[in-house]
Amino acid sequence: MSRVIGIDLGTTNSCVSVIENGQPTVIPNAGGYRTTPSMFAISHDGKRLVGHLAKRQAVTNSRNTVHASKRLIGRRFDAPEVQKAIDLCPYEIVRGANDDPRIKIAGKTFTCPEIGGIILREMKRVAEEYVGEPVSDAVITVPAYFNDTQRQCTKDAGKIAGLEVLRIINEPTAAAMAYGAGHREEEKVAIYDLGGGTFDISVLDMSDGVIEVLATGGNTFLGGEDFDRMIVAHLLEKFEENEGIDLREDAMALQRLKDAAEKAKCDLSEREKTEISLPFIASDDSGPRHLQLEMDRATLEALVHGLVNQTLKTVEACVADAGLQPGDVDRVILVGGQTRMPLIQKAVGEFFNKGPHKGVNPDEVVAIGAALQGEALTSDESNLLLLDVTPLSLGIATVGGHFAKLIERNTTVPVRKTHTFTTTRDGQSAVKIRVLQGEAEAAAENDLLGEFILSGIRKAPQGEPEIEVCFDIDANGIVSVSATDLATGKEQSITVNATGTLSQDEIERIIEDHELYEVATKE
């Protein structure tokens, strides 16, 4: 039987893991690195570069280098998050045919699942080189707060990479699996996951290999890159103050500042003080200018204090969602490179009134958990079981633009729920069932997953017909909805296909396209 790999498809870095003799192993790439930058570029001479190769040339080729595309995947072009990204990213983001954001580099347009697919394909290749045989099955992780469309798009990315995606699981849940595999005692665990682009918090209950997700929460647009951005803004300001030159429109300088900011941030996790030195970053009539400046931990902490507080608010809500007090949590696990920051360790420790658990590698634990879940699904040897939940509430739109939730968020799947609705007009013979996902009270503020019409309702005064709506989520997270007129027994149903994703045809076309390209590079 071919092996299942676990892939943490991160905003900034990705990681792949496989189970060997019952033990999870993180697979290093050809360069010996255990994580691979989630970057894709087309070089000046038309070569396609992924991972470290893409990152290395990013400074000189920032317009044709894609990073952090995970922030765009599964969103609508008009979404505020996408508009924000357009302002921040050096590469071009254009409106696609399905109103989805697409990325245009070197004159070629890519969908976001396609970019994800390119990175996943690289991770697949890394794994295949290591195990020495083809790999096709994978478990891929996503932020807990990804909605159905974003998950579907990630699945599409897997297909594009030639992977059979056994399951999409939440990053913090994966981290919990990795922890739970080694700790069999009964514990309530909080996973605080601050990655490059997203923040997730999950509270879980585990005992002897069974992992129950009590609650999840998060923010898909808050992560380490926002910390970097705060530093970059600070550097820009300082430079303008000292030299009178505004670097905000200079793409190459911005890329250098970004790299320097990231490095300074990492340095300050280890040390109290660091030096930022960017020679020849600009020039004017009087000659070349250099950015030279010292930064201490306190300055950094003052810059990002607000971001950390933002995460703690989400943590508070999630713990309450789980029906717990912060003190009830037995263990706190930090995941994601950003949690190396002492300020975060201190703030989280203060919130839960206990120091965070050491002993997991925050960069690798998610991929390890994904591989363990793959093993749990396919092997009789595994003794792990994940009791997963729905990340967002599901329901239908009702009269007056309200959202009636049928399945509350954090409900264990598989689940089936029914509820009875009625008509709003006398003699009404058809109702439209609009299936929504989200937490907002107003229907319009939630994501529309699909809609259908139940017709042939017996004519009756308003409020008399009984229409039973049934929501069903199976273990694989596939949502189907049916509506039945109880008087006539007439039924209508759909399996929800997330909107805005690629059709099967499109996926096949993209796969073909990339296979052509693969052949081309081997020549």
Distance spanning both ends of the chain, measured CA to CA:
32
Q: Is 184 in the site for other proteins (CB under 8 A)?
A: no
Residue 70 annotated to the active site: yes
Check if the beta carbon of residue 35 is closer than 8 Å to that of residue 62: no
Order the strands of the 48-50 sheet from edge to edge: 48-50, 40-42, 65-66
Among 134, 327, 355, 414, binds other proteins (CB under 8 A): 414
Q: Please, which residue, 484 or 492, has the CB nearer to other proteins?
A: 484
Among 99, 275, 426, 515, binds other proteins (CB under 8 A): 426
Q: Please, which residue, 442 or 475, has the CB nearer to other proteins?
A: 475
Q: Is 408 in the site for other proteins (CB under 8 A)?
A: no
Q: Is 386 in the site for other proteins (CB under 8 A)?
A: yes
Q: Please, which residue, 301 or 468, has the CB nearer to other proteins?
A: 468
Q: Please, which residue, 215 or 264, has the CB nearer to other proteins?
A: 215
**Whole-number minimum distance, CB 289 to other proteins, in Å?**
60
Subset of 435-464 contacting other proteins (CB under 8 A): 456, 458-464
* Distance separating alpha carbons of residues 8 and 170, to the nearest angstrom: 10
**Of the candidates 38, 73, 68, the residue with the CA atom closest to the CA atom of residue 53:** 38
**Whole-number minimum distance, CB 410 to other proteins, in Å?**
11
User: Left if phi > 0, otherwise alpha if psi is -120 to 50, otherwise beta: which for 218?
Assistant: left
- The per-residue DSSP string of 191-251 comes to EEEE-SS-EEEEEEEEETTEEEEEEEEEETT-SHHHHHHHHHHHHHHHHHHHH----TT-H
Strand positions, DSSP E, 285-410: 287-296, 331-335, 385-387, 394-398, 402-407
Q: Measuring CA to CA, how many Å separate 499 from each of 129, 170, 448?
A: 36, 21, 8
Among 119, 166, 315, 496, binds other proteins (CB under 8 A): 166
Phi, psi of 153, deg, nearest 5: -65, -35
**Whole-number minimum distance, CB 181 to other proteins, in Å?**
15
Q: Please, which residue, 98 or 411, has the CB nearer to other proteins?
A: 411
Among 60, 277, 418, 420, binds other proteins (CB under 8 A): 420
SS3 of residue 314 by DSSP: helix
Residue 193 annotated to the active site: yes
**Whole-number minimum distance, CB 420 to other proteins, in Å?**
7
> Segment near other proteins (CB under 8 A), from 57-65, 79-87, 204-212, 240-248?
204-212
**Whole-number minimum distance, CB 124 to other proteins, in Å?**
19
- The total of other beta-carbon atoms located within 10 Å of residue 156's CB is 27
Tell me the residue length of the chain: 523
> Segment near other proteins (CB under 8 A), from 174-182, 243-251, 377-385, 513-521?
377-385
Number of residues that bind other proteins (CB under 8 A): 40
Q: Is 327 in the site for other proteins (CB under 8 A)?
A: no
Q: Is 123 in the site for other proteins (CB under 8 A)?
A: no
Q: Measuring CA to CA, how many Å separate 388 from each of 37, 170, 211, 221, 395?
A: 29, 9, 8, 23, 19
Q: Is 320 in the site for other proteins (CB under 8 A)?
A: no
* Distance separating alpha carbons of residues 138 and 309, to the nearest angstrom: 35
Q: Please, which residue, 106 or 460, has the CB nearer to other proteins?
A: 460
Among 81, 187, 212, 259, binds other proteins (CB under 8 A): 212
- Among the listed residues 70, 124, 159, 258, the single catalytic one is 70
Residue 87 annotated to the active site: no
Q: What is the DSSP letter of 37?
A: E
Q: Is 376 in the site for other proteins (CB under 8 A)?
A: yes
Q: Please, which residue, 208 or 515, has the CB nearer to other proteins?
A: 208
- The per-residue DSSP string of 289-307 comes to EEEEEEEEHHHHHHHHHHH
Residue 45 annotated to the active site: no
Q: What is the DSSP letter of 90?
A: S
> Segment near other proteins (CB under 8 A), from 114-122, 200-208, 440-448, 504-512?
200-208
Subset of 253-312 contacting other proteins (CB under 8 A): none
> Segment near other proteins (CB under 8 A), from 73-81, 280-288, 435-443, 487-495?
487-495
- Among the listed residues 171, 200, 262, 485, the single catalytic one is 171
- Among the listed residues 114, 193, 205, 364, the single catalytic one is 193
**Whole-number minimum distance, CB 459 to other proteins, in Å?**
6
* Distance separating alpha carbons of residues 257 and 261, to the nearest angstrom: 6
- The total of other beta-carbon atoms located within 10 Å of residue 345's CB is 18
Cα torsion at 161, 165, 170, 171 (round to 10°)? -50
- The token pair that represents 303 in the structure block: 């810059």
* Distance separating alpha carbons of residues 238 and 225, to the nearest angstrom: 20
**Whole-number minimum distance, CB 499 to other proteins, in Å?**
27
Name the site residues for other proteins (rule: CB under 8 A).
Answer: 166, 186, 205, 207-210, 212, 376-378, 385-387, 412, 414-416, 420, 422, 426-427, 456, 458-464, 466, 468, 474-475, 484, 486-490
Q: What are the catalytic residues?
A: 8, 70, 171, 193
